[in-house]
Amino acid sequence: MATKSKAASSVSPTAQSTPASDTVLRVTQLRSGIGCKQNQRQTLLALGLRKIRQTRDWPDTPQVRGMIHTVRHLVAVEEVEPS
C-alpha cells in the first residue's frame, strides 16, 4: 500500500485558487464565439462574457489565466488595480 508523501499533504487545497496579487484582470470580449470550438464557447460563458464588448473583472489567478489563454483570440485583457 502506497502512502502519501509529506510534501503533497502539506499543500493547502486552496493554494492555487487564492489570488497571487491584488491585481485584477479586465477581460473584454472582442469577437464572437460563433464558429469556435465548444470548449471555447463554454469558456466565454464561464468568464461571464455573452456579448461583444462586454467586460468583466476577474482576480489574477492561475485558473482565470488559463481560461483567458483558451479564448485569447476572442478577448482583450488589461491589468487594473482594484478600486
- For 41-81, the DSSP string reads HHHHHHTT--STT-EEEEE--HHHHHHHHHTTTTEEEEEE-
Query: Would 11 be classed as within a structural domain?
Result: no
Q: The domain containing residue 42 runs over which residues?
A: 20-80
Query: Would 50 be classed as within a structural domain?
Result: yes
Q: What is the pLDDT of residues 7-39, one digit of tens each?
A: 555 655 555 556 556 899 999 999 999 999 999
Q: What is the pLDDT of residues 46-72, one digit of tens each?
A: 999 999 999 999 999 999 999 999 999
The predicted model scores a pTM of 0.74
Query: Would 45 be classed as within a structural domain?
Result: yes
CATH of the domain at 76: 3.30.1390.20
Query: Would 7 be classed as within a structural domain?
Result: no
Q: What's the structural domain count of the chain?
A: 1
